[in-house]
Structure 1
Amino acid sequence: MKTLFISHKPPYPIVDGGCHAMDRMLRDFILAYPEAVISYVYFETEKHPGNRKKIPQEIKKNVDFIGIPISTKINPLSAFIHLFNNKSYNVSRFVKGNIKKQIELLLSQNEFDIVLFESIFSGGYIDDIRCISNAKLVYRAHNIEHKIWEDLSKGEKNPLKKWYLRHLSRKLKSFELQFLNKIDLIMSISKLDQSYFKNHTSTRSTYIPVSMKIHSIKMMHNGSLCFLGAFNWLPNKEAMIWFVDNVFKELSNKFPTLTLEIAGSFSNEITSISEKSNVHLHGFVESSKEFIAMNGIFVAPLLSGSGVKMKVLEAMSLGVPCVLSSKAAEGLALPEIIPVCQNKADFIEKLSILLLDKELCEKIGKAGQEFIETEFSSELVSNKIIDSLNT
């Protein structure tokens, strides 16, 4: 089977949840089709330049990676023009002539069975591909992208920013639905998102979770909370600022020695919160697993976003107790013991209990790990990939 993956950013190095999901998809695809011939086109941007040295050797031997440098910097004039046309500026920034030429060259030299889009932002080439290829077009849906921007607009207090975010979400929604109806198959990472695709498109969709390995790393109960995520993703930035200003501030009054440990790329986006007492920014860390395991209870106070949150799954795979917002828990049929919070008061109450109850922390951690083992194994995911592509 010949397969072409197209992604708006490099899967390696793994700097955020999106890269992690892309890595797992590639591994599970290879497990499903060990003889597959895979070409992987990715866009190298200012924010995601890529590093071929970080591609794992066991992946490199199975995949031909093709990185194409482009600039996606926001151009004020182009952004202004997009206010008056019917195109999504979010997507247009990733549509470039050199990428189109490379994709057309690959399609002319190879008869691909499958073209798999790893992001809505790589979808700007679908019409060109459809014109010259008979391959099955597959979309790996990490989320419903326009819903992220809708949620951000709802939480924005500045009237001008609120209007612009709403404008971006409307344009993106229009493109997203058109794109989804041109695809042959949608592989959704989330059951909740898959339900949306089923109700709003005519394209066949199926739920294929992201796989996650179980890890045995001893968790430290050290009177701290932690979060890890990339802060160039606006929902992460929004979540941490809200959590520090609302929840952690009150928890600190009850637990004066409590610390909040925050790691992730682009931490410069949230440097203002590091000025708060007992809030520590670690920036990018080489081992997300070690960081999460060493820093107590994992919190995911997301207020906006879509899809399954990779760092939540990773924390559970380590046996670390997680306390989640309802948004962070979306799309997951979690065991009842795992705390899901609806508001500030919920977070304060549930975290206060856990900070005093080591045994309950361990029970929650174990329940999360068992949930991952049952629902997110590589064997299960690779079999689902085979079933969906053979149907």
Structure 2
Amino acid sequence: PDDRSFQRELSASFIGSLDWIPNQEGLKWLLQEVWGPVVARHPEMVLHVAGRNPPAWVQDLAGPNVQVHGEVSDAVEFINRHSLMIVPLLAGSGMRVKILEGMALGKVVLTTSVGLEGIAATQREEALIADTPDQFAAAIEWCYGDRDRLRQIGRRARQLIRLQYDNLTTTRQLKKAYDRLLVGAS
């Protein structure tokens, strides 16, 4: 994993399709309910927002503490630049591929219980989980503590993805399940 982001000042990223309503709702919630108190305590903190088709209201929020990048040519490079990946999903279903990508890259992912559905991560072990504005702000504040602690969460997240969500691992698990079914059918 690219650990360089843990050697710089804490910065946060949000990446996702900005024409998908759950992403818009989560980003709006983050910016309206959470970001103000965070910036009041840490005026140097910047949220970097990337994603295709950002609506006008997202562009209008750009300023010293919110940088809107629009669609980026290399999502991995974008994610790697920031130690904290924020995924404030309030609704939606299915596996969150961007969360898995962030974890696979060794980043600290801060998301909601909804965002982590289907992902076997544990609070402050492989991810940070927060469901209210106060919890989100407290989690970001917690990230200002020990950089090595953040690096360890990122490493454990990467290990979790490698052990449970890697394509080869998943294929092996499926093969074992099919083998058991075939043995039972004969």
Q: Deviations over 1:127-178 (max 9, x none)?
A: xxxxxxxxxxxxxxxxxxxxxxxxxxxxxxxxxxxxxxxxxxxxxxxxxxxx
Find the aligned partners of 1:361 and 1:375 in 2 and give their Cα distance: 21
Q: Does 1:220 align with 2:5?
A: yes
Q: Structure 1 residues 388 and 236 mapped into 2: Cα distance closer, same or farther (>3 Å)?
A: farther
Letter of the 2:163 counterpart: T
Find the aligned partners of 1:257 and 1:376 in 2 and give their Cα distance: 35
Contact 1:324/1:339 (<8 A) preserved: yes
Q: How many residues align?
A: 175
Aligned to 1:325: 112
Find the aligned partners of 2:170 and 2:95 in 1 and give their Cα distance: 15
> After TM superposition, which residue ranges in structure 1, 4 or more long, deviate above 3 angstroms?
383-391
Residue 332 of structure 1 and its aligned partner are, at CA, apart by: 1.5
Gap regions ≥5 residues in structure 2 = none
Query: Which TM-score applies when normalising by structure 1?
Result: 0.42
The CA RMSD measured in Å over matched residues stands at: 2.0
Find the aligned partners of 2:101 and 2:131 in 1 and give their Cα distance: 22
Letter of the 2:92 counterpart: G
Residue 381 of structure 1 and its aligned partner are, at CA, apart by: 2.0
Aligned to 1:344: 133
Contact 1:297/1:321 (<8 A) preserved: yes
Gap regions ≥5 residues in structure 1 = 1-215
Instruction: Please tell me whether Structure 1 or Structure 2 has the larger radius of gyration of its CA atoms.
Output: 1
Letter of the 1:232 counterpart: D
Which of 210, 217, 237 is the aligned partner of 2:24?
237
What percentage of residue pairs aligned between the two structures are identical?
Answer: 24
Query: Which TM-score applies when normalising by structure 2?
Result: 0.86
Summarize the alignment of residues 94-113 of structure 1 with structure 2, pairs less than 5 Å apart.
Answer: none
Q: Does 1:289 align with 2:82?
A: no
Aligned to 1:267: 54
Residue 335 of structure 1 and its aligned partner are, at CA, apart by: 2.8
Letter of the 2:135 counterpart: D
Find the aligned partners of 2:91 and 2:170 in 1 and give their Cα distance: 27
Q: Structure 1 residues 219 and 335 mapped into 2: Cα distance closer, same or farther (>3 Å)?
A: farther
Highest RCO, 1 vs 2 (Cα 8 Å, sep ≥ 6):
2
Q: Structure 1 residues 293 and 219 mapped into 2: Cα distance closer, same or farther (>3 Å)?
A: farther
Find the aligned partners of 1:359 and 1:315 in 2 and give their Cα distance: 18
Secondary structure of 1:220's counterpart equals helix
Find the aligned partners of 1:251 and 1:285 in 2 and give their Cα distance: 25
Residue 384 of structure 1 and its aligned partner are, at CA, apart by: 4.5
Find the aligned partners of 2:132 and 2:36 in 1 and give their Cα distance: 15
